[in-house]
Structure 1
């Protein structure tokens, strides 16, 4: 009980319900403008970029889960291509350019999980596009236990290990595997995983550390960047390498921005 209640309490403390009520967002009026976490594509037209980001889901679900997506651009392009899975609307749940590339997700600011630029990013883009096409659940969606938006990004991580994707513990659905294929690569593409329908199993890898999945809730320890991996919270400890790198790049861009 403590393992379940404590992470939820931390999540509440970080984002008190009173603040959400004061904003009184609905699906219609929740802000979805650019968050500024991705480099401006026009200003970086000569550079390839691949990023994965995630934001708290809308409403009360934001205390438990995140919604992720992937964006990329090739050198010479002045706009991003964005892919994520969205459950409402029917038909194919894989959406291309559904929203602004780094926009707030119905009021929630995204955090960077993957940030590759230059030649490294350019080498990944064809693999990412192939992974999007090979997603095995393009017409299925279940918020719990999956397949959902986290299942989609985890699939890309498995198919493109060069992303070095480290999905947080509160990415519910990332561990979803059909009962016919319970064992395989973890969402980083660099570890191993055994799981039944996203509700019971484990993952072990350099990026994930050791993680146990019980009823879709994940508990674990990250030894690579020391941290606890907890439901509701996601990560408690040192930031992931991608988040730290994105913060540093953004700080460098601001520092060298010419005076107006």
Structure 2
């Protein structure tokens, strides 16, 4: 066996052994980093990032936004998920949950932004309005975008009071800076 073949086999074994588990069995449990809506009655805005699934997580993250008006019993989560398009659904997904901080298919989320109280109460209607105007709700392209990272980047342009800074690994966030993407 040549050194090149051995190196290639070693790389293949490394890739296979480092791959995360099957998405169907990967953890989607809450990480316990979001305020419990049954206890914390204040308005809340949070943005999360977690390593993308499988090998993509070596260099990219998936991001999502969660809002909870004052006294709400659940959060509204907004995220863009490409595989929804294969089912004839919009890539932009909105749902209610008491656990907005769930693991992203085995990857623990990191909180990128947390705003609460009166400031969150003022910004949530602006976020809701911007979500309705998101120009790529029915589109998804891994690179250069629009993708899951384009969405919160675009929201940050629409609601600059968020002061949201996405990490370098939020690949696709730069897509939102196109002149046509902002109002």
CA gap 1:82/1:177 in 2 versus in 1, 3 angstroms: closer
The aligned counterpart of 2:37 is 41
Higher strand proportion, which one?
1
Q: Which runs of 5+ in 1 are unaligned?
A: 1-15, 186-260
**Number of the residue aligned with 2:121:** 122
Q: Contact 2:113–2:164 (CA<8 Å) still a contact in 1?
A: yes
| Structure 2 portions without partners, runs of 5+ | 1-13
Cα distance, 1:114 vs. partner? 0.9
The runs of at least 4 consecutive aligned structure 1 residues that moved more than 3 Å come to 16-21, 182-185
- The answer on whether the counterparts of 2:153 and 2:176 sit within 8 Å (CA) in structure 1 is no
Distance 1:30 1:139, change over 3 A: same
Distance in 1 of aligned mates of 2:95 and 2:182:
30
Cα deviation for residue 167 of structure 1 reads 0.5
TM-score, L = length of structure 2 = 0.83
Report what 2:77 is aligned to: 82
Matches within 5 A, 1:1-260: 20=18, 25-45=21-41, 47-90=42-85, 91-97=89-95, 100-177=99-176, 181=179
Q: Which TM-score applies when normalising by structure 1?
A: 0.59
Q: Which has the higher helix share?
A: 2
2 CA distance for matches of 1:101 and 1:183? 27
Give the whole-Å Cα distance in 2 for the aligned partners of 1:117 and 1:155: 21
Matched residue count: 166
1:210 corresponds in structure 2 to: none
Question: In structure 2, what is the Cα distance between the partners aligned to 1:177 and 1:71?
Answer: 19
Contact 1:44–1:78 (CA under 8 A) maintained in structure 2 = no
CA distance in 1, matches of 2:23, 2:45: 28
Q: How much has 1:89 moved relative to structure 2? A: 2.4
Q: Distance in 1 between matches of 2:130 and 2:18?
A: 36
Q: Is the 8 A contact 1:54 1:68 kept in 2?
A: yes
CA contact (8 A) 1:83 1:98 kept: no
